[in-house]
Amino acid sequence: VDMFQAVADGRIKALWVMGTNPAVSMPDASRVRVALAKCDFVVVSDVTRTDTTRYADVLLPVAAWGEKDGTVTNSERRLSRQRPFLPAPGEAKADWRIVCDVAVRMGFGEAFAYRTPAEIFREHAALSAFENRGKRLFDLGGMADLGVEDYSALAPRHWPASERGEHQTRLFGDGRFPTPDGRARFVPVRQEATAFSVDADYPLALNTGRLRDQWHTMTRTGNVPRLMAHASEPAVDLHPADAAAHRLKDGDLAQLSTRFGFVRARVRVADAQRRGHAFLPMHWSGQFAARAAAGLLSSPITDPHSGQPELKHVPARIVRQNTGWTGVLITRRDLRPTGFVHWSRHAVEGGWAYELTGTEPPDQGILLARKLLGVRPQDQLLEYTDRRGLAYRAAAIDDAGAMAEALLVAAPDQLPTRDWLVSLLATRQPLSTADRHALLSGRSPVPMPAIGRVVCACFHIGSNQIASAVASGCDSLEAIGATLRAGTNCGSCRSEIRAIIDARQVQAAE
């Protein structure tokens, strides 16, 4: 936070961002974006396009995780060798190699004459022991002289690994701590009030956090259809009582505001959400939605000791966003729409699904959405507009007879389910006459029951399917697993399945 303030007021004139996305992840992200735009010289090292790369004067392609050679350390302090399983594409290089190359160009070649990851590791290990003398638990001094072959064959092990030969699988197992007398020291803390409190203007306490199947700003996980199926649109969770108090229903588009900015997201009414509180996932960025980054709302107030921002609490208000039309574009193309009050996209098999929303009347919305159609000279265009100008359906058919994309526009809440459209895109097979008629009518040629929000990503099982199974007598996780297979693989969906079972049983009891 302090660093970007220094960028904003001109104290920092050059910035090198490596593998992070501060335009999304930092609190009060609008201020961070202004700072990046004002900075004299911005370099960004990354593997993909992000909200931050748009501010870069220089973009440097780096090796991705599966292309790197080095070591990784997990949360149990276990150090492991990591070897690449893919070659780095094009001119992409490891971060350390790029830093060394830049240092050489700047005249510091002697200090950055590294040739292998093993040399980098040796310096890292030596520095961990420098002036340590037991003051710091992290100590790899005993590995500071590893040769290339020993480094390459390094077996997983825990730190510390000091020159004294210490090796502790469990820290403090000997009852000693890194203090002068070897005894643990407790630091008394006191709870302090948050910087801002809820009030009449901002009556909800907004929290942010992770989604089950996503990672950071979705630059990698957002490209995986199975992972996006669990939460395909940005949504804010509200308790039913709070939704009712704000005249909102499940699926409404809402504008969520704080003292620092606003976003737009769908409302998700959830019994599990604490009353008086709202939850917005931290992952959404401008690569996947028009304006849904939680950082635009977060408070930049920091803890005076740690500098940690107050990311888990900020007072907010929410209002329903009036809409005149909605649309969906299923396409093979990678787009970033503009000119819409709200849009979001999620990966599907064979391409992308774009959810579009506008405040204009449907006839104007049709004209706006139609500009997104990418019909090539060799494509055949199927089009239908109803007499009242309230609904529009179009499809581009490629020269092989397969659907390249489809656009459907209608009044709010009038669009069909997406599954059958996605299936037509994924197969890349020539469309039948029935398929073509279905695209123009906006209805699947074969009735496809809506599976609901995907709960089990492993087997693509939705909430409606689970609820139906519960109504048919499956009253346990084991019964659901035996019937639908949901919850029987990775297990991360089991809590959601349990919640659906409990909710259905409560409804039945009432």
What is the tens place of the pLDDT at every residue in 411-449? 988 888 888 899 999 999 999 999 999 999 988 887 777
Q: Is 151 left (phi over 0), alpha (psi -120 to 50) or beta?
A: alpha
Do 141 and 242 belong to one domain? no
Span between the terminal Cα atoms of the chain, in Å? 51
Q: What is the pLDDT of residue 121?
A: 97
Residue range 274-296: average pLDDT?
97
Q: At what angle do helices 477-484 and 494-509 cross, to 10 degrees?
A: 110
Distance in angstroms (rounded) separating the CA atoms of residues 499 and 365: 38
Q: Which of 472, 401, 457, 506 is nearest to 214 (CA)?
A: 457
Confidence of residue 190 (pLDDT cuts 50, 70, 90): confident
Q: What is the pLDDT of residue 413?
A: 85
Do 315 and 350 belong to one domain? no
**In the β-sheet with 380-385, what is the strand arrangement from edge to edge?**
342-348, 351-358, 325-331, 403-410, 392-397, 380-385
Residue range 188-203: average pLDDT?
93
Do 208 and 256 belong to one domain? yes
Model pTM score: 0.90
Instruction: Note down the domain range covering 484.
Output: 454-509
Q: What is the pLDDT of residue 382?
A: 95
Number of domains in the chain: 4
Distance in angstroms (rounded) separating the CA atoms of residues 404 and 351: 9
What mean pLDDT value characterizes the chain? 93
Do 412 and 479 belong to one domain? no
- The pLDDT of residue 302 is above 80: yes
Q: Is residue 190 part of a domain?
A: no
- The pLDDT of residue 268 is above 80: yes
Q: Is residue 358 part of a domain?
A: yes
Do 11 and 152 belong to one domain? yes
Which of the residue ranges 241-255, 339-353, 455-469 would you say has the lowest mean pLDDT? 455-469
Residues 49, 50, 54, 59, Cα dihedral to 10°: -50
E strand intervals along 283-416: 314-320, 325-331, 342-348, 351-358, 380-385, 392-397, 403-410
Confidence of residue 387 (pLDDT cuts 50, 70, 90): confident
Q: What is the pLDDT of residue 58?
A: 98
- The pLDDT of residue 510 is above 70: no
- The pLDDT of residue 401 is above 90: yes
Q: In which residue are the tokens 């997983």 written?
A: 156
Q: Is residue 171 part of a domain?
A: no
- The pLDDT of residue 131 is above 70: yes
Do 422 and 304 belong to one domain? no
CB-neighbour burial class of residue 137 (10 A; exposed 0-12, middle 13-18, buried 19+):
middle
CATH classification at residue 12: 3.40.50.740
Do 22 and 62 belong to one domain? yes
Which of the residue ranges 40-49, 73-82, 133-142, 310-319 would you say has the lowest mean pLDDT? 133-142
Pairing mode, if any, of strands 41-46 and 58-61? parallel
Do 243 and 349 belong to one domain? no
Q: What is the pLDDT of residue 320?
A: 98
Q: What is the pLDDT of residue 323?
A: 95
Q: How many percent of the chain have pLDDT more than 70? A: 99
CATH classification at residue 264: 2.40.40.20
Please identify, among 385, 412, 441, the residue that sits at the C-terminal boundary of a domain. 441
